[in-house]
Amino acid sequence: MAIEYKPFTGDQVYETYKKVIASRKDGVGIVTLNNPAECNVIGLDMYQEVASALKEVESDDKVLVVLINAAGKDFSAGMDYREMPTDYRKVVRYLDQLGTYISVPGALTKPLIGAVQGRSYAGGRPLVIPSADIVVVAEDVRIGFNGMNFGAP
């Protein structure tokens, strides 16, 4: 039986994003993946929002530590393969852009805590593993890389 987790969000809400919530509570900067209807599947738009939200939260002098979590039963079902280009040149540009966004969590200067539940596959995994300083996982967590099933590099 899947458990529905209520994400931890703060009182102070930062800029509004479409698929991410950035907030602060008691010195904790919180970035919440917020597309539970699609199991927080991550495309370039969501990666960009996460990267922007992490930078915004970290730049707040009142934030001492950053937490990344997710709404819904899954942290992330992984990369949104529906938007993956099929032309080789476009794939290279896509992955180059993706690398820019994925590198942001590991470049934070404040401690990063990941709270992971349900599925955390492929594209969602690098947001916390190996980037986070501490990762807290729920009992039902399943972490993996399923890109090989789709021919992803």
Nearest to 59, CA basis, from 114, 8, 22: 22
Task: Fill in the amino acid letter for 54.
Answer: L
Task: Report yes or no: 71 and 40 within 8 Å, Cβ to Cβ.
Answer: yes
* CATH code for the part of the protein at 12-144: 3.90.226.10
Per-residue pLDDT of the chain (153 residues; tens, 9 = 90+): 455 566 666 778 887 899 999 999 999 999 999 999 999 999 899 999 999 999 999 999 999 999 999 999 999 988 888 888 888 888 888 888 888 888 888 899 999 999 999 888 877 777 777 788 999 989 888 888 765 555 555
Q: Across 38-111, where does the E strand assignment appear?
A: 65-70
- Local structure of 123: helix, strand or coil: helix
Distance CA 41, CA 36 (A): 8
Helices 88-107 and 44-58 cross at an angle (nearest 10°) of 20
pTM of the predicted structure, to 2 decimals: 0.85
The angle at the Cα of 133, spanning 127 to 134, to the nearest 5 degrees, equals 90
